[in-house]
Structure 1
Amino acid sequence: MRSDEWSSPPAPVRREVLDAVPDAGELGPPVLFVPGYGHAAWAFAQHWLEHTAGRGFPAYAMSLRGHGGSGPFPQARLRDYVHDVAQVAASLPKQAVLVGHGAGALVVAQALARYPARAGVLVAPVFGGPGTAFGMLRRNPAGTLPGLFGGRVSLRPSQLFSRGLPANLAQSYAKRLQRVPAAAQRQLIRRRRPEPAVGDPPVLVVGSPDDRVVSGAALEWVARRYGGSPLLFPGMGHDLMLDARWQEPIDAILDWLEKSR
């Protein structure tokens, strides 16, 4: 335990955790899905949760504090989210695989340094830095500029999804995104280097070269930190778990987990 976490531990909060259990026995370790900023467990419950259980993996999706059905926490910071993930993972019956999306991938990367995961998967990882901020500012100035001054970052459906997703679905998903605490949002301005993972678990980086939030260079940078190359799905948007071709990346992730066992 780090000294600051011992002297000033994150405050307890109610945590929303959704689950799906395999029908015909477990074939793999539990998989814990961690959504990015503004998203919640519902983003994985739409498709990936049941699909993962159907492949024989007990599946769980959590909401970070202040998101979804988890307790409110307007002053949340990155370390609070990391604490939530480590606590939920430790409560699962077996050593879990941690799957994080967007800024949730950064949370998972930090949690891997605290929890001995079976494996880690970083989906469209947002590790912050000026490149991320400037890229979003260039593509969506009106929605991004308020975030630089503590306001809300608003992402357009066209930044999150491909044109293959029906417009009404894209709009409904985008409307469900929640406001992110200013302190947690500001922490993404500075690029975060992932800490060494406990036990050196295998880590897979997944993304799309057509992501309008995460650049190809950022995907490559994160993948290199873990000694590999990103697994790419051209033609998909940032929210791979909700996009029109959602099944392709989750099947690839589960195939990789089966080979990694």
Structure 2
Amino acid sequence: MITKQDINGLEVFSCLPEGKSQRPPLLFIHGAFAGGWMWTETFMPHFAAAGYPCYALSLRGHGGSKGHQQIDWLSVADYVDDVRQVVDTLNIDPVLLGHSMGGFVVQKYLERHPARAVALLCSVPPQGLIAAQFHLLLQKPQIYLEINRILAGDHTDTDTLRDALFAGEVEPAMLAEWLEKMQNESQRAIWDMSMFNLPNLYCMRRPPMLIVGAEKDMLVPAFLVQTTAHTYGQPCHILRNMGHAITHEKEWPHAAAIIETWLESLTP
């Protein structure tokens, strides 16, 4: 069962396994334009059923968290502080799983804090967003323009959302619900991820790491996920025939299975 609490102004969702579990908690960090809600329908119930206590925060200015009025001035460093604030409330250090922008936040988190392990899912690479932005502009200029509209606070339509996030069939009701929950993103955070606050690879801690991408991802193309894997000296898992929203593609259990296998490998 999904529950929700407020931790110092941050919306935090929880989904706990039945009975006691010796498995480490998982903390999910969402991507741009989204919130903690993106994990509640698929990944959190799945991993809770497998024995992992699951938590997902909405970064400040997102979902039900504070800070919407100041969102354009929020930095990636602010988002790192949010993650740390939630980590500090847990009895055991969690495994961090970040999607898209959330993966970038996880990388910045490792500059300042240790982590048990991290999973980067369709993550913004440590080299930043510039290559992804140019690739999208050249391949899908209409989607590029629509994303900039969303960044400015304007809403897009379900057709554009489907083209940007999904490769397979999408249920109209789910797509409409996703569109309703989407929001604008911090202009400052986008600039941080583009060039002004990229991860300092020499300062980062290097815990066990999983890197996953999607073959038909339009926003963080597979070749950039491979670049991330090469940068960190890790193998790369590319999900066939899936788009950026791996949590809601119909084949999302394939992504969950890769993560679950990796989590099991962490157990001594």
The aligned runs of 1:84-233 (5 Å cut-off) are 84-127=82-125, 128-145=128-145, 147=148, 151-152=152-153, 156-190=161-195, 192-193=198-199, 195=201, 196-198=203-205, 200-233=206-239
Structure 1: which 4+ aligned runs deviate by more than 4 Å?
A: 152-155
What amino acid maps onto 2:148 in structure 1? G
Percent same amino acid among aligned pairs?
29
What amino acid maps onto 1:22 in structure 2? P
User: Alpha-carbon deviations, 1:187-211, whole Å to 9, x = none?
Assistant: 232283454443x310110111111
When structure 1 is superposed on structure 2, of 128-137 and 209-218 the one drifting more is 128-137
What amino acid maps onto 1:174 in structure 2? L
- RMSD in angstroms over aligned alpha carbons? 2.2
- CA 1:177–1:46: 2 relative to 1, 3 Å: same
Output the CA distance in 2 between the equivalents of 1:51 and 1:60. Answer: 12
Q: Greater helix share, 1 or 2?
A: 2
Shift, 1:39, TM fit:
0.9
The answer (yes or no) to whether the contact 2:107–2:199 under 8 Å persists in 1 is no
Output the CA distance in 2 between the equivalents of 1:158 and 1:43. Answer: 18
Give the alignment partner of residue 31 of structure 2, picking from 20, 27, 36. Answer: 36
Output the CA distance in 1 between the equivalents of 2:136 and 2:225. Answer: 15
Q: TM-score, normalised by structure 2?
A: 0.85
Structure 1: 5+ residue stretches without partners: 1-11
When structure 1 is superposed on structure 2, of 46-55 and 127-136 the one drifting more is 127-136
Output the CA distance in 1 between the equivalents of 2:15 and 2:129. Answer: 35
The answer (yes or no) to whether the contact 2:170–2:249 under 8 Å persists in 1 is yes
Secondary structure of the structure 2 residue equivalent to 1:109: helix
Q: TM-score, normalised by structure 1?
A: 0.87
Residue 9 of structure 2 corresponds to residue 14 of structure 1: yes
Give the alignment partner of residue 45 of structure 1, picking from 26, 40, 47. Answer: 40
Give the alignment partner of residue 248 of structure 2, picking from 235, 242, 245. Answer: 242
Number of corresponding residues: 248
Q: Which residue of the partner structure matches residue 55 of structure 2? A: 60
What amino acid maps onto 1:202 in structure 2? P
Structure 2: 5+ residue stretches without partners: 1-6
